[in-house]
Amino acid sequence: MIDGYKIYDAHMHVIGRFKKRDESLPQFLDRFGIDRAVITSLNQAANLSTILKSEGNENQSDFIESFVPKGQYDHEIVRQAVKEHPDRLTGIFWFNPRIATEEDWKLLKKYIKEYDFKAVKTQCYLDLLEVPEDLYSIAEFCIEHDVPLFLHSGSGFFFQKSVRANDYYSLFKKYKELKCVILHAAFTMEYCINCLKYFNKLENIYFETSVSIPYGIMTLIKAMGSHRVLYGSDAPAATSPDIEIDKIRILNLDNQTLENVFYNNISRLFGEEP
């Protein structure tokens, strides 16, 4: 709890550089006053040692291929953490639908049904997804199992078609019942403005704040309403949570808005009582 507000972080990873080596996840949450967190796996191939191998040569698409796992990400550590701390952690499954086999779909279903994972995440760049085409199958899965789909935003690598808000809009038009969370929704002001343009009438679309520009977060809250914006940090992989929390604290928002953004919205999205 911070300043009297409960904190439910909508975007965390099970490991990362900004967590101390000997620190458990609940200890990490305690250090920053975070009550609950959504956690998922991490693409550990996309790390600095891989980047450092490159000398900026021309064969970079092969280099990036080395980031891309040949199978699904292992979520065993996530499952164990959630099992040990169900009052603090909510699991979501980072899934790559492009390469999914029948066994992978069964595994995903198992995590949702048996291990109570609450959502699915996709990362279009590291997993080389074509948007919207590669997302149709996972969108149908999410609708069938009534779980939200978390979609990564970013700038994309030079050899990829950049995913724009209108690409995601094509997906939402096709699957109107799909509940989605746009991650890093204001990572640039340009992207934030694109979100306003395309998603303003789509009440099933939510906006997560990690790695976002504070001015963009404020714009999203004012334009979309405080019920559609979710605090997230992307910690401990990308940042330290206090920095991401401060981005919202400094916006001079009213109590109800802070309660919604910091806790209630993600809690309601998962059908929990805030």
Calpha distance 215→108 (Å, rounded): 37
Our finding on whether 66 is near other proteins (CB under 8 A) is no
Q: Which stretch binds other proteins (CB under 8 A): 31-39, 81-89, 90-98, 163-171?
A: 163-171
**DSSP characters over 92-137:** EEE--GGG--HHHHHHHHHHHHTS---EEEE-TTTTT--TTGGGHH
- Nearer of residues 107 and 193 to other proteins, judged by Cβ: 193
Q: 224, 264 in Cβ contact below 8 A?
A: no
What does the block give as tokens for 43?
A: 């693409």
For other proteins, the binding residue among 18, 105, 115, 270 (CB under 8 A) is 18
For residue 178, give Cα distances in angstroms to 90, 204, 225. Answer: 20, 7, 19
Indicate the length of the chain as a whole number.
Answer: 274
Our finding on whether 250 is near other proteins (CB under 8 A) is yes
Our finding on whether 22 is near other proteins (CB under 8 A) is no
- Nearer of residues 96 and 118 to other proteins, judged by Cβ: 96
Our finding on whether 204 is near other proteins (CB under 8 A) is no
Phi, psi of 126 (to 5 degrees): -65, -25
Our finding on whether 69 is near other proteins (CB under 8 A) is no
Q: Quick check: helix, strand or coil at residue 186?
A: coil
For other proteins, the binding residue among 27, 101, 200, 255 (CB under 8 A) is 200
Q: How far is the CB of 108 from other proteins (least distance, A)?
A: 25
Q: How far is the CB of 52 from other proteins (least distance, A)?
A: 6
136: number of Cβ within 10 Å: 13
- Nearer of residues 106 and 201 to other proteins, judged by Cβ: 201
- Nearer of residues 10 and 147 to other proteins, judged by Cβ: 10
Contacts of 175 (CB under 8 A, 6+ apart): 136, 139, 140, 143
Q: Where along the sequence are the contacts to other proteins (CB under 8 A)?
A: 16-18, 46, 48, 51-52, 54, 56, 60, 63, 125, 153-158, 162, 164-166, 184, 187-191, 193-194, 196-198, 200-201, 203, 211, 213-216, 218-219, 222-225, 234, 237-240, 242-243, 246-247, 250
